[in-house]
Every structure is written in C-alpha cells, then in structure tokens.
Amino acid sequence: MNIEQKLSHKTIEAFQSLYGHTIDAIAFEKTNPIFVGDLTLVVFNFLKISKKKPEETATEIGNYLKANVAEVSDFNVIKGFLNIVIADSFWLNYFKDIYGKPFINHTLPENAPTVMVEYASPNTNKPLHLGHVRNILLGYSVSKILSAAGNKVVKTSVVNDRGIHICKSMIAWKKFGNGETPESSGMKGDHLVGKYYVAFDKHYKSEIESLKNKGIGEEEAKANAPLMKEAQDMLRKWEANDKDVRELWTIMNGWVYEGFAESYKTLGVDFDSTYYESNTYLLGKEIIDSGLAKGILKTREDKSIFIDLTSDGLDEKTLLRSDGTSVYMTQDLGTALLRNQEVNFEKMIYTVGNEQDYHFKVLFLILKKMGYAWADGLFHLSYGMVELPEGKMKSREGTVVDADDLMKVMIDTAAATTKELGKVEGLTEDEAAHLFQTIGLGALKYFMLKVDPKKKMLFNPAESIDFNGNTAPFIQFNYVRIQALLRKSIEGWNFEDQAIFTPNIPLLPKEKELIIKLYNFNATLSQAAAEFSPALIANYVYDLAKEFSQYYHETPILKEERKDLILFRLQLAKTIGIAIKSSIGLLGIEVPERM
C-alpha cells in the first residue's frame, strides 16, 4: 500500500469517526508548489457531510490523520485545501527500499495482456521523411512504455507495397530511368525510387496542362492524362499477376526495403513483425465477399462494392472499385484480421496521423458490423502532424525533409555544438563519433516526443541541441555529470559498501523533492501507458534532471564534512542517474557515460 492509498484509507476512517458517514473513495492530489505540503485533499465536496465550514472540516480531518498516520508529520489548511506534510523518515525509508533496485521490471506476469503496436507503415514509392520520424518514434516509445508497464508488446509495421502510388514510381522508372539502379547511381534504393515518384508527378502535371490547353476541363484532363492511364493499367496487370509487372515491382521494392532497413538501424528502432499489403489485400477481399453474403455490404450499378454508414453518422464507403481493384480500406480489413489470427491481441494500437481519423472510425465500425468481437480492442493513436515553417510537406512534389538527411544534420549539429563546448576532450575518434550520434539522435527523439501526441508541432532542429534547455542533451549531460561524480568519489573510497541509512540524516528540502520525484516514477509510467503519451515521461525526466542540476550546484557533496551525508548524497545521485537512464530509455534515447 503506497502513501496515497494509506491516506485515502485513513481519511475514509476519519469521516466515519468524525461525522458518522461512510465514504466510498477519497483522492489526494499533489500539493500546489506555492504551498507547504506533499499531498492535498480538497474538502469542498464533503461539506454536506461535515456540516461545517471548509477550514474547520479540513482541520478536523488533518488532526485525525496526524494522530493516526505515523507518516504524517504536519499539515496546514488553506481555505478548503488540506495540505499534508509527509515525514522525512518515510521518504528516507522509501529510498532505502529502492536503492540498488531497477526502476523497470522486465519480467512480465503470466497473465500479461498482449498489445500490438503498429508504427512506421511506409509506402514503397518514397524514402522516409520527417512525418514518418514522428510516427516511428512515437510508436516505438509507446511500445517500450507499455512493455515497462507490464504488457506483452508486439511491435509491428505494415508496408504499403501495392496500389496506384507504387505503380506511379514504376511507370516513371520504366519511361525515364534508363536502367538506373542504386549501384549505378550511388543512391540509397528508397531515395532512387522516390526520385521517380517525383518525376511521375512532374510529367503528369505537364500532361494535364497540355490537355487543358486543348480545351479539356481539369478533372477530365487528370483522368485522361496518358501517364495516369498507364499507371492504372499497370495496377490492373499487377492484380492479375502479370509476370513482367510483378518482376519490376519485386526489384524496385527490394531497393526500398534495403533503404528502409538502413534508416531504421540509424534511428535505433525495430519491429517484431511486418505485414505487406500485397498479401493482406486478398484476405480483405474475402472479408468483402463475406460481407456481401451477409447483406452488410452492397453493390452499385457500376459493380463497385460499398458499405452504407449514413445511419451511423458517416457516409458510404467504397471497398472495391468498379474494376475490381482494392482500396486502402480493403487491405486494412485484411491486415487487421490476419494480425488477430496470428497474435490474438487484447488491444491493437494504430499509430497514424490525425489526417486519418475518419478512415479509422470507418475501419473499426466495419469490423464491428462484420461481427469481429476483437474489434473493440482496436485503438487509433492519432497524433498531430509535423510542419515546417513554410507549411506542409508534399512527397509527390519533393518538398519533404528526408529522414536520412535530417538524422545527418542532427548528428553534425551535435558534433559542432559538443566540440564548441569542449565536451570531447580525451575521447578517441570512434568514441567521439558515437557521442555525436547519441546526442544528435537523442535531441531529435526528445524534441519529437516531449510534445503531447495529439498536438501538431513545428520542427526546429536548432532548439533541440541546446545543452541548457528542455532538451535531451541537457538531460544526458546531467546523467554524465552524475557518472563523473561517482567515478571521482570511488577514487577515495568505495561508497557502495557503506551503511548509510540512519534516522539521523537531516534531509534537505531539495533532497526530499528529489526522492519524491523518484517515488513518482511508477505513477508517471502508469499514466503514460494509459494515455499512450511519451510526453509524460519526457516531462518527468526533464524535471528530474533539472532538480538534480539545481541540487548539484547548491549542495556540497564530496566537500561535505559529515561522511554519512557524503555517502547518502552519492547514493541519491547514483539512484537519480539510474532513474534518468531508465526514463529516457523509454523514449528510445541512449545516455553517454562521458562527455
């Protein structure tokens, strides 16, 4: 039973003892920093029970708790707010209990629920870009948080490897590529294929303008442009298993997969499974056939198949085109079913931008109408898009921030900043290169994850490298500072072997704050898992690092005269270092040991 639970239990007793009334539940909250106290009870809602003024009610409950809870050393009342002060001895005993123990238990209980988390989900017609980076980092971090919170997590991706957009790159390469390959061009495969996706759009727009100049309307011109007709014909051939089309598709997708793998490795993420829409769209068609047989789906005069969701406040959704080719929804239906058959998940989380909110409402509703009970466990982790100062990115126009270029810029910026601050002295060339990558990618990840997932964000690389702001480098630097402090102390004597836990240690206010921060780790982890929000972890670890930085500058540690205080402060610093490493690790960020 933690201190909040104990106080709640005793407060329920207080209402019974003082007012002869039974309360079902009591909730304490953190005390406002401007007041003295650790936990606060708001009594306004209980005045009908006490039949007394707020101050009197709060005072009576405070006196009861002080008399009956050993951990309560004092309290104060501000109007209807009862602020409880927890005794220093409680925090010292808590610290004794956690010292030397890991903050995250990696052993899952036997009945751990299975949660599948999808992220990345790229198209094989272009390289990863800035938008993908936020998606990947968010999904990967949520996976780590859910795992730390006691779930069996399966990290998964779906590759959009078929469809009209893939055919556009293929057509452009056939017409304009002259046999170019990653080897002959020196380009990563995903970049090479993306080059031809942009080329398709350029020539397609030129054809549209040419038709418009002949007096043809814009919509008709878009539909009848020769390049688009060729792409549509290629899609039909692909679905008909045309040998030549399939061979080219396999070759170009192979180039892209090699490029993706290299980007994922640099970014430091991985997957437990990958699904390909070229496989799952057929299962989606089987679902559609079943829906037709059950009368859930309908056929239009042009032979396209749809579901009418107007009675649910949505619209009619096409699931198969009139020519029999599938749409995104078709393959998403098949992918969802296949995943459940293979994994039997309790919950399936789709990490996808909020531009697809409507799509997932429709997807989940169709699966429920089809009678799949597991559809109740589907969840869309909708996040805000990443924007540049000049606005949205458009892949087909080539106006994107490429993920590989972005990672290189971050690493190079970290190198320049770190050298300027003189934090590479004594490092070998390889050690320095690893440090630059750790700082640069850490800065990128933290900048992306510290923002509430639901909010859109404006990307600013320069802000993310600041060693003094709300950044990963600031947090990493304080971790390194702790390791340097511990190394320096060990030169004189081994503090690890000393008995430090004694009631005679006077606990400084900042030391109490730091121990409370450590105490709040589990609650923060639970909340982050429940809300799928790495931002909560980011804010927690930044606050912890900031509090330690202030403590380090304000408090003598190795220069303290009392040896028991030196020992305690070193072990407190060591534990804070472990908490920082554990917390920031949930964001997929490493910490260097030296800088």
Task: List, as one string, the DSSP characters of 437-500.
Answer: HHHHHHHHHHHHHSS-TTS-EE--HHHHT-TTSSSHHHHHHHHHHHHHHHHHHHTT--GGGS--
Determine the structural domain holding residue 216 and report its residue range: 162-271
Determine the pLDDT at residue 1: 67
CA-wise closest residue to 392 among 337, 443, 339, 456: 456
Beta-sheet strands, E only, within 7-148: 29-30, 39-42, 72-78, 81-86, 114-118
Same domain, yes or no: 70 and 217: no
Last residue of one domain, picked from the residues 56, 86, 116:
86
178: left (phi over 0), alpha (psi -120 to 50) or beta: left
Residue that has been written with the tokens 């920093």 in this structure: 33
Closest residue by Cα to residue 317 from 378, 361, 285 = 361
Q: What angle do CA 146, 150, 152 make, to 5 degrees?
A: 75
422 in any annotated domain? yes
| Count of domains for the chain | 3
pLDDT of residue 61: 97
Task: Enter the DSSP assignment of 222.
Answer: H
Residue 389 lies in a domain: no
Q: Which helix or strand (DSSP H or E) is residue 436 part of?
A: helix 429-449
CATH number at 68 reads 3.30.1360.70
Burial class for 57, CB neighbours closer than 10 Å (0-12, 13-18, 19+): buried
Q: Per the domain annotation, does 212 fall within a domain?
A: yes
In the chain (595 residues long), the average pLDDT of successive 10-residue segments reads 91 96 91 94 95 96 97 96 96 91 90 96 93 95 97 97 94 96 97 96 96 94 95 93 97 97 97 94 93 95 95 95 88 95 97 95 97 97 80 49 90 90 84 95 95 86 79 96 88 56 79 96 97 98 98 93 87 96 98 91
Cβ-based neighbours of 401, under 8 Å, separated by 6 or more: 129, 130, 388, 393, 459
pLDDT value of residue 595:
85
Strand 305-308 relative to strand 316-320, pairing: antiparallel
Residue 526 lies in a domain: yes
Does residue 265 lie within any of the structural domains? yes
Q: Which two tokens mark 496?
A: 């690890």
Q: State how far the Cα of 339 lies from the Cα of 360, in Å rounded to an integer.
A: 16
User: Which residues are within 8 A (CB) of 47 and not within 5 positions of it... i.e. 6 or more apart?
Assistant: 53, 54, 57, 80
Phi/psi region, residue 577 (left: phi>0; alpha: psi -120 to 50; beta: rest), is: alpha
For residue 285, being part of any structural domain is answered with: no
Which one, of 432, 448, 424, lies nearest residue 534 by Cα?
Answer: 448
Q: What is the pTM of this model?
A: 0.91
Which of 86, 114, 131 is the C-terminal boundary of a domain? 86
Describe the crossing of helices 164-176 and 189-212 by its angle, rounded to 10 degrees. Answer: 90
Q: What pLDDT was estimated at residue 398?
A: 47
Query: What integer pLDDT is reported at residue 392 of this predicted model?
Result: 47
* Residue 456 pLDDT: 85
